[in-house]
């Protein structure tokens, strides 16, 4: 019977079983859940700046000490990525995301009762930061497993939830603060983030079982009957099913010559095929965290790309408003610049997903072009001297940022990097390496600004990191091609060593021996 892609109907809590990657099906529900998880994680993080002035006034702290709340949160979120991978492989993506939603909500609600900034470091920085990691990474990982041909487009579109959240949450929270104060507003945000638990409950695991098409045997003719018929025709008896090579003869049925005909070996082959098809091989034990990706040079280059490129992801959104204010641009116009950057990022994410969804295309090269253009956008910021110049740079940067930010993690599933089989472990290690730049990037830019008294130096440092990231990204494909070539050579060498050189007359020699043996028996 012809196999279909239809999932096996099971209870809602059971995994979806497919014969191949569905490229849809329940994956659309996963994409819907990922949209809201993205909005309630990164969307809230990027909108948290609306609380900065209130926290500075309430706790009588400086801007730098308040900014460490988000820095610690982002660091914990990325640093604990391997833990998220281990827990997902051990307990499943659904449970881990739901637990992450509880942690996020608990940390945010508790932070609304904080008495000083240190309490904020613990509640939002550590507790919510861990929850962000447990919620985001497993969701994007399982989404990639449900799609193959449409993976880039679906992931890019679903990731726009972060951008739409910035549009809606920032003004909504600002209006809410004027009515009930920042503490109750923070409490409301924490309660809203509890809906991540609902999104996590939708993450049904997926199992791909590739089934081979086996030719059905005639039911009316059992194997034993076939053997008996063949034995009657050849006047021989087979000692057992496994000993099809040994042939015994009785004194009354001795032919003139007894040869090992090819037909007499068919039962043995047939039995072996049946055993192989009917036996179920033991499933390999799933590793909680597969560090073998660290031996893959292509992954190492890609991880270094993520490390240096992360330097340019957050700094522009942090320093664009101070840069515009230093150029004499008003606060209202500065806010427009940031909004324009977020809008352009939406179009960048969707455009990148649409382009990467085209076949045939080498996705790693498209990503490299986007990273190079993103470096150009960062270098252009210091040359802007008025409102429209900054607006142009922000739109260009936002668009290019969307092309890279929405695709750099899903690209791990491509064969040019590690492939879908190892994506879960690779994503954990990759995001963990990114955490180093996420923690060191903003303070490094701040030190340069304090030293030079010029905000342009922050953008130069981000651009330099992005250029280094582009260099390592350009090495991913050559490293992968070289690794595959070396593996093929080793396989050919090992095959040449195992298979011995047999003479051309090997079969004739064996047949001659059989004939001589038959003549000896006749003489007796």
Domains 11-210 and 289-497 share a fold: yes
Beta bridge partners of 16: 206
Q: Nearest to residue 436, comparing CAs of 75, 128, 69, 124?
A: 75
* 207 φ/ψ angles, rounded to the nearest 5 degrees: -125, 125
CA distance 435 to 443: 13
Which has the higher per-residue pLDDT, 184 or 506? 184
- At a CB cut-off of 8 Å and minimum separation 6, what does 288 contact? 85, 86, 89, 90
pLDDT at 480: 78
- In this predicted structure, the answer to whether residue 262 has a pLDDT above a threshold of 60 is no
Contact 321, 450 (CB under 8 A): no
**CA end-to-end span of the chain:** 55
pLDDT digits (tens, 9 = 90+) for 423-448: 777 877 888 888 777 777 777 777 78
- Chain CA centroid to CA 303, Å: 13
pLDDT at 264: 43
Look at the block and give the residue holding tokens 């190079």: 372
State the CATH class of domain 11-210.
mainly alpha
Contact 241, 252 (CB under 8 A): no
The pTM for the full model equals: 0.63
CA distances for 100 relative to 133, 195, 354, angstroms: 7, 11, 31
- The confidence band for 135, taking pLDDT boundaries of 50, 70 and 90, is very high
Q: What DSSP element (H or E) covers 206?
A: strand 206-208
- In this predicted structure, the answer to whether residue 163 has a pLDDT above a threshold of 90 is no
Percent of the chain with pLDDT over 90: 18
CA distance 437 to 440: 5
pLDDT at 359: 66
pLDDT at 186: 93
Residues in the chain: 524
Q: How many CA atoms lie within 13 A of 500 on its CB side?
A: 3
Q: Nearest to residue 408, comparing CAs of 438, 366, 462, 471?
A: 366
pLDDT digits (tens, 9 = 90+) for 264-297: 444 444 434 333 444 444 444 556 566 677 778 8
Give the DSSP letter string of 110-154.
HHTT-SSHHHHIIIIIIIIHHHHHHHHHHHHHHHHHH-STTHHHH
- In this predicted structure, the answer to whether residue 103 has a pLDDT above a threshold of 90 is yes
Q: Nearest to residue 39, comparing CAs of 104, 118, 115?
A: 104
Q: Where are the domains of the chain?
A: 11-210, 289-497
Which has the higher per-residue pLDDT, 183 or 222? 183
Highest mean pLDDT among 14-28, 32-46, 237-251, 449-463: 32-46
pLDDT digits (tens, 9 = 90+) for 442-456: 777 777 877 888 888
Give the DSSP letter string of 353-404.
HHHHTSSS--HHHHHHHHHHHHHHHHHHGGG--SHHHHHHHHHHHHHHHHHH
Residue range 289-497 in CATH 4.10.780.10: no
- In this predicted structure, the answer to whether residue 403 has a pLDDT above a threshold of 80 is yes
The 3-state secondary structure of 25-72 reads CCHHHHHHHHHHHHHHHHHHHHHHHHHHHHHHHHHCCCHHHHHHHHHH
């Amino acid at each position: 019977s012809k196999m279909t892609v239809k999932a096996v109907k099971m209870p809602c809590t059971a995994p979806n079983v497919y014969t191949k990657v569905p490229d849809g099906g329940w994956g659309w529900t996963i994409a819907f859940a990922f949209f809201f998880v993205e909005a309630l994680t990164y969307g809230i993080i990027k909108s948290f700046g609306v609380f900065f002035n209130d926290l500075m006034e309430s706790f009588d702290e400086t801007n730098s000490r308040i900014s460490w709340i988000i820095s610690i949160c982002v660091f914990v979120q990325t640093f604990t990525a391997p833990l998220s991978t281990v827990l997902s492989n051990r307990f499943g993506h659904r449970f881990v995301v739901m637990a992450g939603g509880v942690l996020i909500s608990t940390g945010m609600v508790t932070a609304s009762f904080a008495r000083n900034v240190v309490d904020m470091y613990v509640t939002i920085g550590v507790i919510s930061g861990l929850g962000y990691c447990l919620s985001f990474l497993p969701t994007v990982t399982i989404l990639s497993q449900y799609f193959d041909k449409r993976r880039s487009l679906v992931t890019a579109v679903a990731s726009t939830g972060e951008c739409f959240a910035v549009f809606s949450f920032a003004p909504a929270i600002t209006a809410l603060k004027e009515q009930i104060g920042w503490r109750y507003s923070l409490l409301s945000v924490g309660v809203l983030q509890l809906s991540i638990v609902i999104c996590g409950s939708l993450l049904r695991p997926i199992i791909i079982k590739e089934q081979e098409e086996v030719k059905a045997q005639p039911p009316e003719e059992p194997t034993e009957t076939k053997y008996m018929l063949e034995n009657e025709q050849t006047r021989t008896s087979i000692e057992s099913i496994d000993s099809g090579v040994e042939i015994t003869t009785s004194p009354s049925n001795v032919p003139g010559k007894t040869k090992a005909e090819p037909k007499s070996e068919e039962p043995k082959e047939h039995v072996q095929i049946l055993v192989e098809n009917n036996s179920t091989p033991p499933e390999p034990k799933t590793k909680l965290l597969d560090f073998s990706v660290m031996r893959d040079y292509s992954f190492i280059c890609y991880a270094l790309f993520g490390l240096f490129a992360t330097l340019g992801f957050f700094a522009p959104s942090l320093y664009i408003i101070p840069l515009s204010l230093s150029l004499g641009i008003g606060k209202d116009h500065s806010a427009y610049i940031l909004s324009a950057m977020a809008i352009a990022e939406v179009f960048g994410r969707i455009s990148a997903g649409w382009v990467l969804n085209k076949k045939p295309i080498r996705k790693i090269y498209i990503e490299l072009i986007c990273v190079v253009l993103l470096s150009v956008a960062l270098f252009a910021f210091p040359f802007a001297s008025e409102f429209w110049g900054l607006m142009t740079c922000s739109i260009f940067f936002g668009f290019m940022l969307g092309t890279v930010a929405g695709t750099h993690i899903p690209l791990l599933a491509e064969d040019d990097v590690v492939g879908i089989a190892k994506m879960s472990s690779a994503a954990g290690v990759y995001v963990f390496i990114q955490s180093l730049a996420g923690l060191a990037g903003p303070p490094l830019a701040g030190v340069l600004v304090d030293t030079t008294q010029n905000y342009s130096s922050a953008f130069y440092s981000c651009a330099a990191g992005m250029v280094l990231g582009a260099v390592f990204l350009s090495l991913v494909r050559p490293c992968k091609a070289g690794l595959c070539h070396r593996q093929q050579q080793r396989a050919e060498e090992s095959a040449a060593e195992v298979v011995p050189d047999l003479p051309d007359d090997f079969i004739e020699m064996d047949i001659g021996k059989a004939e001589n043996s038959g003549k000896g028996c006749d003489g007796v």
